[in-house]
Amino acid sequence: MPRSLTLLLFCQLALYTVVVSNRGCGRPILQDNMVTEGLQRFYSPGEEVVLSCKKGLAPSSGSRTITCTASGHWTELKLTCLTKSCSSPEVLDYGDVHFNDIVYKSTINYTCYEGYTMQGASTTECLADGEWSAPPPKCLPVTCGLPPIPKYGKVVYDRLVTGNTSVYGSGVTFQCLSPLVLIGNERGFCTANGTWTEPPECSFVSCPRPTDIINGYMTIDAKREHGYKEVVRYGCNIDYVLDGPVESQCLKTGNWSEKPTCKAPCSVGIKRGRILYNGKRYWIKDFKKKISHTELVSFYCMNKDNQCGYAISSQCVDGTLKIPECYEEPSDFTYNLRYSSLPSEIDQC
Ligand SMILES: *[C@@H]1O[C@H](CO)[C@@H](O)[C@H](O)[C@H]1NC(C)=O
Ligand SMILES: *[C@@H]1O[C@H](CO)[C@@H](O)[C@H](O)[C@H]1NC(C)=O
Ligand SMILES: *[C@@H]1O[C@H](CO)[C@@H](O)[C@H](O)[C@H]1NC(C)=O
Ligand SMILES: *[C@@H]1O[C@H](CO)[C@@H](O)[C@H](O)[C@H]1NC(C)=O
């Protein structure tokens, strides 16, 4: 082939390429959220490009195809891509659902209430196809075996049970065969860790022979051992006042419950003067009564500034009756001959 012809052919070929490129389309400009496969640098008129939405997004409207037109432009891009959502999670029985969003890559965390164990995945993720990576889990109650039965005792179920398991929260009441006494918890529960609470014991309870109280007495036939809940009654000698419970009971521990005490009466520790007792005034030499525990007696004191008398009371506490500090015992002389000047006899303040 002559050299000139070769050159001509080459020139024609080059011209042809330029013409084609002028009339074709360049690489289409896509949006960030779209992809397409095998993009070329040049497209001839009439060529189509099929677009897809990126992973996790779904086409919501518009055609997925654009075409290179004869004028060298792409047809208008109408496709829109929106984030794909997974379905809203449902409420979990006996558990909580934790999530912020339900779009691609969101996660849901599930937790079960105390006493419930999870069956299934505790976390699930929203996948690109709009499906959750795992179905929601279930929260199933913890089970305990049957409750322990105390020796010499029995179990009363709150609700009828079938099979040989109990579920979390089920309760029972324990009972002991008479005359044994239930020591410990009368109620039992299936706990969150699958075990029953500590069962009680059934034991025989007796209390030792009860003892006397000082200045008092107890029921005549009491000096023997007693069974659980038996009682002994106490009383006090004359003039003594019973303080505390009248009865003492034999407890589960084999001890007696608190016993009362007998509180002593008081005498009025003055020799000369007048007192006020139960609303009446008495000269002390004429006063023959005993003041009982907790009773009040008033003594007379002198207000020296105003030259008047006033009564001040004191309480008998288990044999002790304090004489007020302001009280002054008069001399024999004053008491016998000038008694009208005593604080109890002059004008009262
Ligand atoms: C789920 O748990 C993971 C790990 O504990 C945590 O990073 C994430 O924030 C939790 N998601 C939600 C929605 O609570
Ligand atoms: C409970 O009963 C099932 C069959 O009814 C038995 O296989 C299982 O061993 C029992 N479990 C206990 C703790 O008794
Ligand atoms: C189960 O829980 C109770 C309290 O609810 C506890 O006293 C007991 O020790 C626990 N048992 C085990 C095996 O963890
Ligand atoms: C009850 O009796 C037990 C022995 O049976 C004794 O250890 C305990 O101290 C007693 N409790 C009281 C409050 O007296």
Ligand 1 atom nearest residue 100's Cα: 13
Q: For ligand 4, pick from 253, 258, 259 the residue to mutate: most ligand atoms within 8 Å of CB.
A: 253
- With the most atoms of ligand 2 within 8 angstroms of its CB, the residue from 164, 195, 196 to mutate is 164
Over 60: is that where the pLDDT of 295 sits? Answer: yes
The atom of ligand 2 lying closest to the CA of 165 is: 1
- Give nearest CA residue, ligand 4 atom 9: 255
Q: Is the pLDDT of residue 12 over 50?
A: no
Q: How far is the CA of 115 from the centre of ligand 1 (A)?
A: 22
Atom 2 of ligand 1 has which residue's CA nearest to it?
Answer: 109
Per-residue confidence at 236, pLDDT binned at 50, 70, 90?
Answer: very high
Is 347 within a domain?
Answer: no
323, part of any domain = yes
Same domain, yes or no: 167 and 133: no
- Ligand 2 centroid to residue 145 C-alpha, Å: 9
The C-alpha atoms of residue 266 and residue 278 are separated, in whole angstroms, by 15
Task: Compute the distance between CA of residue 301 and CA of residue 298 in angstroms, rounded to an integer.
Answer: 10
Half-sphere exposure of residue 76: CA atoms within 13 angstroms, side-chain side = 3
Q: Is 68 exposed, middle or buried (0-12, 13-18, 19+ CB in 10 A)?
A: buried
Q: Quick one: pLDDT at residue 301?
A: 95
Q: Classify residue 348: in a domain, yes or no.
A: no
In a domain, 259, yes or no: yes
Q: Report the pLDDT value the prediction gives residue 18, as an integer from 0 to 100.
A: 40
Residue 40 sits in the same domain as residue 24:
yes
- Tell me which ligand sits closest to the C-alpha of residue 162: 2
Instruction: Quick: pLDDT tens for 152-161.
Output: 999 999 998 8
Residue from 235, 236, 208, 238 nearest 219 by CA: 235
- Residue owning the nearest CA to atom 9 of ligand 2: 164
336 & 324 share domain: yes
Number of domains making up the chain = 5
Q: Nearest CA to 68 among 31, 20, 4? A: 20
> Going by C-beta distance under 8 Å and a sequence separation of 6 or more, which residues neighbour residue 49?
28, 36, 39, 43, 65, 66, 67, 68, 74
For residue 16, what is the enclosing H or E element?
Answer: helix 3-23
Q: What is the pLDDT of residues 245-262, one digit of tens each?
A: 999 999 999 999 999 999
Q: What pLDDT does residue 56 have?
A: 82
Q: How far apart are CA 75 and CA 298, in angstroms?
A: 117
Question: Is residue 300 a part of any domain in this protein?
Answer: yes
Q: Is residue 299 very low, low, confident or very high in pLDDT (cuts 50, 70, 90)?
A: very high
Residues 278 and 327 in one domain: yes
Interval between CA 148 and ligand 3 midpoint (Å)? 15
Which residues contact ligand 4 via a Cβ below 6 A? 253-255
Q: Are 65 and 27 in contact (CB under 8 A)?
A: no
The span from the CA of 184 to the CA of 197, in Å, is: 11
Q: Is 164 in the pocket of ligand 1 (CB under 6 A)?
A: no
Q: What is the pLDDT of residue 148?
A: 93
CA–chain centroid gap for 143, Å, is 23
User: 74 in a domain, yes or no?
Assistant: yes
Burial (CB < 10 A; 0-12, 13-18, 19+), residue 213, is buried
Does residue 101 share a domain with residue 31?
no
Assess whether 76 and 38 both reside in one domain. Answer: yes
Which ligand 1 atom lies nearest to the CA of residue 99?
Answer: 13
Q: How far is the CA of 34 from the centre of ligand 1 (A)?
A: 29
| Whole-number pLDDT of residue 9 | 41
State the pLDDT confidence band at 22, using cuts at 50, 70 and 90: low
Whole-model pTM? Answer: 0.57
Distance CA 90, CA 97 (A): 8
Of the residues 159, 180, 203, which one is the last residue of a structural domain? 203
Residue 337, Cβ neighbours under 10 Å: how many? 10
C-alpha closest to that of 235 among 212, 269, 201, 203:
212
96/155 Cα distance (integer angstroms)? 35
Q: How far is the CA of 335 from the centre of ligand 4 (A)?
A: 58
Q: What percent of the chain has pLDDT over 90?
A: 72
324 band by pLDDT with thresholds 50, 70 and 90: very high
Structure tokens at 280: 């009446």
What CATH number is given to the structural domain containing 330? 2.10.70.10
Q: Residue 90: inside a domain, yes or no?
A: no
- pLDDT exceeds 70 at position 11: no
Nearest 5°: the CA angle 294, 297, 299 is 145
The pLDDT of residue 89: 93
Phi, psi at 48, each rounded to 5°: -115, 150
Alpha carbon of 322 to those of 270, 286, 291, 298, 342: distances in Å?
A: 11, 20, 12, 11, 20
Domain that holds residue 21: 3-83
Q: pLDDT tens digit string along 122-142? A: 999 999 888 999 999 999 999
Annotate 146-193 with DSSP letters as a single string.
SPP--TTEEEEESS---TT-EETT-EEEEEE-TT-EEES-SEEEB-TT
Q: Long-range contacts of range 86-89, CB-CB < 8 Å, 24 or more positions apart?
A: 86/126, 86/127, 86/130, 86/131, 86/132, 87/132, 89/132, 89/136
Chain segment 57-79, per-residue pLDDT in tens: 888 888 899 999 999 999 999 99
Same domain flag for 71 and 99: no
Residue 269 forms part of a structural domain:
no
End position of a domain, from candidates 203, 224, 244: 203
| Minimum CA distance residue for ligand 2 atom 2 | 164
| Centre of ligand 1 from the C-alpha of residue 109, in Å | 6
Which one of 203, 231, 251 terminates a domain? 203
